[in-house]
Amino acid sequence: MCQNTRMKTSQRRTALLASLLAVFACTPDAAPPSQPDASSAEDRIDLIIMGDYIVSMDSAGSIVENGAVAVDDGIILAIGSADEITAAYTAAEVLPGEHRVVMPGLVNGHSHAAMTLLRGVADDLALMDWLNNYIFPAEVEFVDAEFVRIGTELACWEMIRGGTTTFVDMYYYPDTVADVVDRCGMRALISTTVIDQRSPDAENASDSIQKGNGYIERWKSRNSRITPIFGPHANYTLNADQLKAVRAAAIEHGVGISIHMSESPFELQYSKDTYGMTSVEFYDSIGFFDGPTIAAHMVWPTDVEIPILVERQVGVIHNPTSNMKIASGIAPVAEMLQAGVRVGLGTDGAASNNDLDMWEEMRLASFLQKVDRMDPTVLSAPTVLNMATLGGAVAIGLGDSIGSIEVGKRADIIQVAFDDVHHVPTYDVVSHLVYVTDEQDVASVVVDGKVLMKEREMLTIDTDRVRKEANALAARIQKALNERNLKAGD
Ligand SMILES: [Zn+2]
């Protein structure tokens, strides 16, 4: 029978599964709770999130109409009809569900968050020209811990507002990134960038590995929402020995790696010329896949390499907007998924996108594959939504704890407003989420059971301050760029 739990927090944990089973066992005419409603705050759970639909993204694709999710201590306690959940639980806070769709938060598998401050600084260029002549020099000149703090806050604001709850970052001053993520309440895998050139926070590869070791130690077990990882940049900015050294350090610390891999025709040619093989084969040959790997882009894997990605359980992150804007190519996503590769979605940095909108990535991922293959059946709406949620979580190694609304998982959940004109009428909620919804539709965002945005109001970021600081910093960058242009014209 459906039964309201009457226990203290310490007892509640052990009864999570039992209570869920009880809720699922309820039938519409099941007996009402056997005890009167709880009145003491001690007995209340933290949060109930309601919606016209609960799109769980579990492996069965379960969708609950007029549903609700019960959350306590950051964990999903139960999922059921709104009537069942509200009968079984009293919550300190309730997010009402009228014209709201509840789904897992989006997982942005590849980004350079602080690059929001370089958005629009250099556009319409090829990858190597963009990197070597604009981005790398601008970063060495302007990027310091303060830049990273402000840029990452901007990015977290944009991502929370758009329904992203977890992101994988690769940038400099990772301690600062982690501090920002800690404060704003998001979940993130934060890479310490390793690159064999002078960068904003290191002199060369060995210096960046050494500094990375300290960062990993500091954050390894500090905050369950923050996973420190190594971020070797690519095989054209690090040699084989340096890449092996990064993997050895990651293994020693028991952490994973995120990297750019097989991104552009340049990299393909560089790898063939330097190592006599294409990128994935090269990485496999040096034992680079001996630990968890998140490989961003993967635009040019060969038929020989795709099975390697499956066998070595590499998490691939597809970045359709960035790949289109820099003309890196069209990743064979349909082939990789069919072969069993773990593929998630990412935005890349805001300087090559130029926003952090995962809804746009979903749509472009789908449309780009369809027109490339001349087959409208590939990358269907459910497939793409999975890539942005559970599939993405699996690709970055968090599939057991986030990515779907299932009992026992961490409560990373968003509410999407479905009352604007483009959602009227709604025949198929998943179709609407992928092909219609945009970031402006996200109403509320919950990470680890904590509400970070409530009906569009940001609760953990002082947006006025961040806007002011970002504009002041951008003015300094603009002035320096103007001066440089004047000198260049002399
Ligand atoms: Zn990138």
Distance 358 CA to ligand 1 centre (A): 15
pTM listed for this prediction:
0.91
Work out whether strand 442-447 and strand 450-454 pair parallel, antiparallel, or are unpaired. Answer: antiparallel
Half-sphere exposure (Cβ direction) of 435: Cα atoms closer than 13 Å:
14
Distance 349 CA to ligand 1 centre (A): 6
**Looking at per-residue confidence, does 1 or 138 come out higher?**
138
Cα–Cα distance between 489 and 465 in angstroms, integer? 36
pLDDT-derived band at 41 (thresholds 50, 70, 90) equals low
Cα–Cα distance between 362 and 379 in angstroms, integer? 10
Conformation bin of residue 328: beta by default, left when phi > 0, alpha when psi is -120 to 50: alpha
pLDDT at 489 over 60: no
| Percentages of the chain per state (helix, strand, coil), in multiples of 5 | 45, 20, 35
Q: Which amino acid is at 431?
A: S
- Order the strands of the 226-232 sheet from edge to edge: 106-111, 164-171, 187-194, 226-232, 257-261, 293-297, 315-318, 342-345
Distance 321 CA to ligand 1 centre (A): 12
Percent of the chain with pLDDT over 90: 83
Distance 234 CA to ligand 1 centre (A): 10
pLDDT at 24 over 70: no
Distance 100 CA to ligand 1 centre (A): 33
- pLDDT tens-digit series, residues 406-427: 999 999 999 999 999 999 999 9
Q: Is 104 exposed, middle or buried (0-12, 13-18, 19+ CB in 10 A)?
A: buried
Do residues 346 and 356 make contact, with C-beta atoms less than 8 angstroms apart? no
Distance 271 CA to ligand 1 centre (A): 18
Distance 472 CA to ligand 1 centre (A): 26
Distance 23 CA to ligand 1 centre (A): 43
Distance 236 CA to ligand 1 centre (A): 14
Distance 169 CA to ligand 1 centre (A): 9
pLDDT at 490 over 50: no
Map tokens 């970052």 to a residue.
Answer: 169
- pLDDT tens-digit series, residues 151-184: 999 999 999 999 999 999 999 999 999 999 999 9
- pLDDT tens-digit series, residues 98-119: 999 999 999 999 999 999 999 9
Distance 213 CA to ligand 1 centre (A): 22
Q: Which amino acid is at 163?
A: G
- pLDDT tens-digit series, residues 187-226: 999 999 999 999 999 999 999 999 999 999 999 999 999 9
- Concatenated DSSP letters of 10-73: HHHGGGHHHHHHHHHH--TTPPPPSSPPP-SGGG-EEEEEEEEEEE---TT--EEEEEEEEEET
Cα–Cα distance between 220 and 222 in angstroms, integer? 6
- pLDDT tens-digit series, residues 281-303: 999 999 999 999 999 999 999 99
pLDDT at 71 over 90: yes
- Degrees, nearest 5: CA angle 325-148-248: 85
Distance 260 CA to ligand 1 centre (A): 6
Q: What is the mean pLDDT of the chain?
A: 91
The pLDDT score that the predictor gives to residue 127 is: 83
Distance 2 CA to ligand 1 centre (A): 49
Structure tokens at 383: 């497939």
pLDDT-derived band at 462 (thresholds 50, 70, 90) equals very high
The pLDDT score that the predictor gives to residue 481 is: 78
